[in-house]
């Protein structure tokens, strides 16, 4: 079945450092890939998405490229800020052949950014 | 973007009582909604898929008689935790997908969550 594996941490960074959170997936068909972010005390919100191979999603300085050959969707940001401290979830949503809307989440990664 | 609300945002109840949590899509219709459970510092665990006009589909290991789901309209799904016990204490989150652009997008809009504490 479909699954998502992401690095868990802990991840501690200094402000303005480069952030990478690895995410790999297993899926049949052609899933859509997402990064969701959960700030302290808030619900999940979509950070970025990619719906086909080689697509690059980007938002708020974060980027991720859908790599079918390596089944990966790593999240990157060139210069993190303290305000980026949150939990980041990699997720996939199946193609119609595998069930449509159902979303599978990774375990979540919580980078801690020090000032 | 689309907005999903949940009510209540937190609830404390005694063991053995039932608790109802509402999930509403405020500015769009949702024939499908999802209910998740999130344990502290862990990922979301899909509990069930709520389908408007038909029975919910439960994930393996989720007790359908304990977690009753009713999708009463195109904008409302409810989760009732029956005969709650302390081990049911958790953060419950609902979501609804958008079908904008077709199946490929499948973006989920999440409610803010409901924190249930069973004493």
What is the arithmetic mean of pLDDT over B74-81? 95
Element holding B38 (H helix, E strand): strand B32-38
% of chain B exceeding 90 in pLDDT: 65
Whole-number pLDDT of residue B104: 47
pLDDT of A97 above 60: no
Query: Does residue A57 sit in helix, strand or coil?
Result: strand
Q: Mean pLDDT of all residues in chain A? A: 89
Whole-number pLDDT of residue B99: 64
What is the arithmetic mean of pLDDT over A89-111? 77
Instruction: Give CA angle at A78 (A36, A89), nearest 5°.
Output: 15
pLDDT digit string, tens, across residues A33-88: 999 999 887 888 899 999 889 999 999 999 999 999 999 999 999 999 999 999 99
Contact between residue A105 and residue B45 where contact means Cβ atoms under 8 Å apart: no
Q: Which residues on adjacent β-strands are paired with residue A32?
A: A93
Q: Report the alpha-carbon distance of residue A88 to residue A68 in Å, rounded.
A: 21
For residue B119, name the pLDDT band (cuts at 50, 70, 90): very high
Q: Using beta carbons and an 8 Å cutoff, which residues of B are at the interface with A? A: 32, 34, 41-44, 46, 49, 93, 95, 97, 103-113
Contact between residue A26 and residue A71 where contact means Cβ atoms under 8 Å apart: yes
Q: Report the alpha-carbon distance of residue B72 to residue B51 in Å, rounded.
A: 9
For residue B105, name the pLDDT band (cuts at 50, 70, 90): low
A52 in contact with B, Cβ within 8 Å: yes
Looking at per-residue pLDDT, the higher value among A31 and B114 belongs to: B114
Q: Which two tokens stand for residue A15?
A: 């402000």
Whole-number pLDDT of residue B108: 82
User: Which residue shows structure tokens 């249930």?
Assistant: B116
A57 in contact with B, Cβ within 8 Å: no
Contact criterion met (CB < 8 Å) for A32 and B43:
no
Within a 10 A sphere around the Cβ of B17, how many other Cβ atoms?
Answer: 12
pLDDT of B47 above 90: yes
Q: Report the alpha-carbon distance of residue B76 to residue B59 in Å, rounded.
A: 20
């Amino acid at each position: 079945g479909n699954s998502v594996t992401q690095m868990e941490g802990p991840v501690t960074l200094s402000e303005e450092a480069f952030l990478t959170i690895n995410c790999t997936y297993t899926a049949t068909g052609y899933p859509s890939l997402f990064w969701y972010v959960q700030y302290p005390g808030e619900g999940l919100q979509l950070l970025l998405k990619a719906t086909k191979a080689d697509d690059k999603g980007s938002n708020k300085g974060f980027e991720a490229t859908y790599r079918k050959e390596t089944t990966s969707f790593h999240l990157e940001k060139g210069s993190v800020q303290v305000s980026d401290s949150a939990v980041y979830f990699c997720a996939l949503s199946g193609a119609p052949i595998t069930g449509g809307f159902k979303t599978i989440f990774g375990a979540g990664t919580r980078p801690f950014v020090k000032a | 973007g689309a907005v999903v609300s949940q009510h209540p945002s937190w609830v404390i109840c005694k063991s053995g009582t039932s608790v109802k949590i509402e999930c509403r899509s405020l500015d769009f219709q949702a024939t499908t909604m999802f209910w998740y459970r999130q344990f502290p510092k862990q990922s979301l665990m899909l509990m069930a898929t709520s389908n408007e006009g038909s029975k919910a589909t439960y994930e393996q290991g989720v007790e359908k008689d304990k977690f009753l789901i009713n999708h009463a309209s195109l904008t409302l799904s409810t989760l009732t935790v029956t005969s709650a016990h302390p081990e049911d204490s958790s953060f419950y989150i609902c979501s609804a997908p958008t079908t904008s652009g077709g199946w490929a997008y499948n973006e989920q809009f999440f409610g803010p969550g409901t924190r249930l504490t069973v004493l």
